[in-house]
Amino acid sequence: MSSNSGKTHGDDAAQLAEQEALVIVSLTEQGSLTLTLNRPARFNALSQAMLNALQTALDQIDERVRVVVIAANGPAFCAGHDLVEMRSHADDEDWQRGLFQQCSRVMQTLVCLPQPVIARVQGVAAAAGCQLVATCDLAVAADHAQFGVSGINLGLFCSTPSVALSRNLSRKRAFQLLMSGDFISAQTAVDWGLLNDCVPAEALDAAIEQWCDTICGKSSVAVSTGKRLFYEQLERPLAQAYELASDAMACNMMAEDVVEGIDAFFEKRPPGWKHR
């Protein structure tokens, strides 16, 4: 029993080390957390192991974190799901369903985090990689990056990416991407609403840093309240959306940061937030 237990512990440790290598975690003193996809040889494809590593990192986020950046190593941001892994389970519907449910959980976790999430896109984002960009609250890309959901070219409609895309782009633009399988440029992605901005590759880090500085300079109470309300009201009818928004503002007004912010405004000085 002792020998078996040691073997299990060793296997778990090896698996944890592998997961940590797939996603590199870096936290600054300011509170900017960067999760870097680190499978460049496979274009950061979202294998089961990669999704597990990303979910683990997201689940460990605490109050020290003010903003989350999703980045990637290598020439591609994310090529989508791992087609080799998927093909090896082609006849196993339960495995396939589990994979897409696992990916959907990661995407929903990103939306439910109280911290804003920024995609730092240094290369191509395809299929579930494009879904990942669309799921992030903000997205900035290098101007040579490309975006597409090309599953339909393989006989597979990108159903799960369609959820995020249809909530970012107009219906016709989203459907165009999903049905054509074509890739669009970073500038087109900005025009269509998938990206906030695209910049020369050498300016990408500075652009991300500027966003992080902006968010970290705000009251964390206002930021977390705003993100939660933003997504809650989106899918509601107009009257319900305003009811949610009114309640959120009333509750937010009770925060001491609001008192400080209003006083600072009238006194013409920078606010000294209680919650940073």
Give the model confidence (pLDDT) of 157-183 as tens digits: 999 999 999 999 999 999 999 999 999
For the record, the structure tokens of 263 come out as 């006083």
For the record, the structure tokens of 256 come out as 């001491």
- What is the average pLDDT across 93-122? 97
Average pLDDT, the chain: 92
Give the model's pLDDT for residue 83.
94
Whether the predicted pLDDT of 196 surpasses 70 = yes
- The angle at the Cα of 159, spanning 155 to 165, to the nearest 5 degrees, equals 120
Residue-wise pLDDT for 124-145, tens only, equals 999 999 999 999 999 999 999 9
Give the model's pLDDT for residue 4.
40
Residue-wise pLDDT for 2-39, tens only, equals 334 344 455 555 555 555 599 999 999 999 999 999 99
Beta strands in the chain (DSSP E): 23-27, 32-37, 67-72, 76-78, 117-121, 124-126, 138-142, 146-148, 183-185, 197-199
Q: What is the pTM of this model?
A: 0.89
- What is the average pLDDT across 206-227? 96
